Chains A and B, each alone.
With several copies, the nearest count.
Chain A
């Protein structure tokens, strides 16, 4: 169950380009920072304009004191605009929203696969794992090396690139399959593009307790609009990705793959 959320006028601290088209922006946002957990997200909107109109969903990438950061790929009107915010500029954040990854206990062995902008969850997961003392390994995939964000604080990251320019030559699921021949985690987390999640569900879903952070179009992010259905696996019904997710146990959901 999601807890308390706030609507907060966050103030831009800085923005860094961290990879091709990819940015990390930090915002002063004391109330949300104080509560957010790994896998939860915020809805970000711009004060004083209606272009773009709807808020955008972003997983919280990291938290430090009263600031939080977002990692995003500047692909559309919203993300490009965030990347241009000057220090001091305001952004409206609604959060923390949704349910994060399951509680991690000391000593638990967790593997985390991320791809593309899904890498956003890497720093916050790494930080919380250190705190609770669980043992985490990251598997991080991208199309090519220039799209990989170099995370300095986090350790234990294995890379995969489609073109073989860094790390494993192939996608992150291929890399995971290779590693699983040697070892098995207690839990597997996934965050990235839907095809990657579909493939993780198919390959590992029934074998390892797997938790996936799903992405759907979202208009509100907080259960108001019913715009973000995700099929339940056990009945003809939907979850709401924003309220019941975005993290689901892989066995709970079905991806409706378009032909």
Chain B
């Protein structure tokens, strides 16, 4: 018997736990060339801003061991064109749309949420808080618990459907941030965005990324994000969406055992844009082999002893 693979985040029901990660699938429609995107649990848009953004100067991407660095600088067509041009296309393709938003000012997050709340095709909102906060001298929104709380609180007021907060991993105790998001009414948290990294071309002696540092993604970050998913799962009871280095169905299962309800596939799409369909087959077969009725029974099923974990209390 086929196991039930549905997943719920807030009121939103996904047909399976596989989502695309923001910024790694264009606006979702490009993937249609390679597979039927309606098979996905959800398509998450590139981070949208109020006005279109041209993004950073090149070079924007560089390969490193088992990963890549990027510094795209939120290049995107802006929320209006997204609604006018992309949503109809995604509706046509039968994709369930989650809009990811980013801003440099708190007010802009709220405006974006209001605009997107008005469009019923936008079934969920994911807040990207890994952006420099202009008021606070460029410190990322997501690295200060108070700022995070205030944004989530304000956005929660204007966006009635599923609200997911995407956490930055570049903090000492990510559990505190997850807890704050939960307290302010988020329906879920995505763990995690990219890690601050850097690479240098030793011939030119210049950084390989124009902005010097960039965000690390890919298999290299999987163990790091795995630990954070586990830690967050001990801090909150809202669903966790895992994002970091998912390339195989085994990676999906591993994240679910660690505590994730759903996952986002990012960098893997660059090599194999049709990878989600293969992953679904893999996890269904695993769940069937384990005779699981519901795939979601995997979530948080790690067999471990609390006493073995150093300073478990801190998580």
Direct contact of A and B (CB under 8 A): yes
A: which residues have CB within 8 A of B? 4-5, 7, 43, 45, 50-55, 92, 94, 216-230, 236-238, 256, 258
- Please, which residue of chain B has its CB at the minimum distance from the CB of A219? B61
- Please, which residue of chain A has its CB at the minimum distance from the CB of B25? A224
CA distance A220 to B63 in the complex (A): 12
CA distance A119 to B157 in the complex (A): 59
Q: Are A53 and B72 in contact (CB under 8 A)?
A: no
Q: Are B54 and A92 in contact (CB under 8 A)?
A: no
Q: Are A229 and B60 in contact (CB under 8 A)?
A: yes
Q: Chain B interface secondary structure, helix, strand, loop or mixed?
A: loop
CA distance A50 to B270 in the complex (A): 12
Q: Are A54 and B270 in contact (CB under 8 A)?
A: yes
Q: Which of B1-44 contact A (CB under 8 A)?
A: 23-26, 30-31, 33-34
* A223 → chain B closest CB, angstroms: 5
Q: Chain A interface secondary structure, helix, strand, loop or mixed?
A: loop
Q: Are A94 and B68 in contact (CB under 8 A)?
A: no
Q: Are A51 and B68 in contact (CB under 8 A)?
A: no
With A4-B33, A226-B72 already in contact, the answer to whether A217 and B62 are too (CB < 8 A) is: yes
With A53-B66, A225-B70 already in contact, the answer to whether A220 and B60 are too (CB < 8 A) is: no
- Please, which residue of chain B has its CB at the minimum distance from the CB of A235? B54
CA distance A45 to B247 in the complex (A): 14
* B177 → chain A closest CB, angstroms: 26
With A94-B273, A224-B269, A224-B273 already in contact, the answer to whether A217 and B61 are too (CB < 8 A) is: yes
- Please, which residue of chain B has its CB at the minimum distance from the CB of A237? B54
Cβ contacts A to B, 5 pairs, < 8 Å = A50-B219, A219-B68, A219-B70, A224-B25, A226-B60
Q: Are A53 and B273 in contact (CB under 8 A)?
A: no
CA distance A206 to B232 in the complex (A): 49
Q: Which of B132-184 contact A (CB under 8 A)?
A: none
- Which residues of chain B are near A229, meaning CB under 8 Å? 54-55, 57-58, 60, 75
Q: Are A55 and B75 in contact (CB under 8 A)?
A: no
Q: Are B274 and A53 in contact (CB under 8 A)?
A: no
With A50-B66, A54-B270 already in contact, the answer to whether A224 and B31 are too (CB < 8 A) is: yes
With A54-B271, A55-B271 already in contact, the answer to whether A238 and B75 are too (CB < 8 A) is: yes
Q: Are B218 and A238 in contact (CB under 8 A)?
A: no
Q: Are B218 and A53 in contact (CB under 8 A)?
A: yes
- Which residues of chain A are near B31, meaning CB under 8 Å? 224
CA distance A218 to B63 in the complex (A): 10
- Please, which residue of chain A has its CB at the minimum distance from the CB of B75? A226
* B247 → chain A closest CB, angstroms: 7
State whether the Cβ of B272 lies closer than 8 Å to any Cβ in chain A: yes
State whether the Cβ of B59 lies closer than 8 Å to any Cβ in chain A: yes
Q: Are B68 and A53 in contact (CB under 8 A)?
A: yes
Pairs A-B, 8 closest by C-beta atoms:
A227-B61, A220-B270, A219-B61, A45-B271, A226-B75, A226-B72, A227-B60, A223-B30
CA distance A219 to B68 in the complex (A): 8
CA distance A33 to B216 in the complex (A): 35
State whether the Cβ of B228 lies closer than 8 Å to any Cβ in chain A: no
State whether the Cβ of B65 lies closer than 8 Å to any Cβ in chain A: yes
- Which residues of chain A are near B197, meaning CB under 8 Å? none
State whether the Cβ of B46 lies closer than 8 Å to any Cβ in chain A: yes
- Please, which residue of chain B has its CB at the minimum distance from the CB of A54? B63
- Which residues of chain A are near B24, meaning CB under 8 Å? 220, 224-225
- Please, which residue of chain B has its CB at the minimum distance from the CB of A224? B26
- Which residues of chain B are near A45, meaning CB under 8 Å? 271-272
CA distance A230 to B54 in the complex (A): 11
- Please, which residue of chain A has its CB at the minimum distance from the CB of B270? A220
With A7-B274, A219-B70 already in contact, the answer to whether A256 and B26 are too (CB < 8 A) is: no
State whether the Cβ of B185 lies closer than 8 Å to any Cβ in chain A: no
* B304 → chain A closest CB, angstroms: 12
Known: A53-B67, A220-B270, A224-B31. 19 other contacts (CB 8 A): A5-B33, A7-B274, A45-B271, A50-B247, A51-B66, A52-B63, A53-B271, A54-B63, A54-B270, A92-B272, A220-B273, A221-B270, A224-B269, A224-B270, A225-B61, A225-B72, A226-B72, A228-B58, A229-B54
Q: Are A256 and B23 in contact (CB under 8 A)?
A: no
- Please, which residue of chain B has its CB at the minimum distance from the CB of A3? B33
- Which residues of chain A are near B34, meaning CB under 8 Å? 5, 7
CA distance A4 to B33 in the complex (A): 7
- Which residues of chain A are near B269, meaning CB under 8 Å? 220, 224
- Please, which residue of chain A has its CB at the minimum distance from the CB of B71? A227
- Please, which residue of chain B has its CB at the minimum distance from the CB of A218? B61
CA distance A126 to B25 in the complex (A): 36
- Which residues of chain A are near B65, meaning CB under 8 Å? 50-51
Q: Are B272 and A226 in contact (CB under 8 A)?
A: no
CA distance A227 to B68 in the complex (A): 11
- Please, which residue of chain A has its CB at the minimum distance from the CB of B271? A45
- Which residues of chain B are near A236, meaning CB under 8 Å? 54
- Which residues of chain A are near B46, meaning CB under 8 Å? 226
* A143 → chain B closest CB, angstroms: 17
CA distance A236 to B75 in the complex (A): 13
Most buried by A among B30, B31, B218, B247: B30
